[in-house]
Amino acid sequence: MHTIEPFYNWEGVYQACNDIYSPFYGRQYNMEYTNDIYGYYIHPLWDWIGSETLYVKILFTDYKLRFAIIELFGEWNDTLHNDIMHFKRCVIDNLTGHGINQFVLVGENVLNFHGSDDCYYEEWFEDVEEGWIAAINFRDFIMEEWQQYNIDSYINFGGSLEINNWRTMKPQILYALVNSQIIKRIGAAF
């Protein structure tokens, strides 16, 4: 697990540690392996959010277009560790407080999910008002678990949101692609 790094090709245009509105502003990274998940060290560039099992990296934020792209890593465990609460309070509340209302969550490094209730997801959904929450590249069994816990009422995922080549895109291009898919889904619902 220590070899799984957050995506870093956009660091030339954005770094959360340099963004005064980011919850990780001013964070300094050393390359010592100190954080772990279940006793397995993880790469030191993942950001701790107060959870024992879920780490994140804000890859890009655009305050004019009001979107953030966030990569997640580890086990998303709402049952034992209430990870959605940590994620919501540490990262999402900060970003929505600065006007972000569209979220692209990258989940190919989320290795498992354990659900609980959907209260924090509902709160997050209400916070974004005219925005949206989209999840790309999460594992099938995680999306199935999300459906069992009604999280699909709050987060858009699956189908056209499986974007395997997202790393080859600039962040604004990825956002535009996800936004166009969300608009199509909203239009199809009416």
- Please check the confidence at residue 190 and state whether its pLDDT lies above 50: no
103: exposed, middle or buried (Cβ count in 10 Å: 0-12, 13-18, 19+)? buried
* pLDDT for residue 114: 94
- Res. 129 pLDDT band, cuts 50 70 90: confident
- Res. 188 pLDDT band, cuts 50 70 90: low
CA–CA dist 175, 171 (Å, integer): 6
40: exposed, middle or buried (Cβ count in 10 Å: 0-12, 13-18, 19+)? exposed
* pLDDT for residue 100: 98
Q: In 10 A of CB 65, how many CB atoms?
A: 14
- 3-class DSSP state of 104: strand
* pLDDT for residue 137: 97
- 3-class DSSP state of 75: strand
Average pLDDT over residues 129-152: 95
* Digit-coded pLDDT (tens) for 58-98: 999 999 999 999 999 999 999 998 999 999 999 999 999 99
* pLDDT for residue 3: 85
- Please check the confidence at residue 171 and state whether its pLDDT lies above 60: yes
Q: Domain residue spans in the chain?
A: 16-189
Taking the model in full, what pTM does it have?
A: 0.96
- Please check the confidence at residue 18 and state whether its pLDDT lies above 90: yes
Average pLDDT over residues 112-130: 93
Average pLDDT over residues 90-119: 96
Any residues with CB less than 8 A from the CB of 107 and at least 6 apart, and which?
A: 72, 135, 136, 137, 138, 139, 142
> In this structure, what token pair is assigned to residue 75?
């086990």
Question: Domain 16-189 is of which CATH architecture?
Answer: 2-Layer Sandwich (3.30)
- Please check the confidence at residue 189 and state whether its pLDDT lies above 60: no
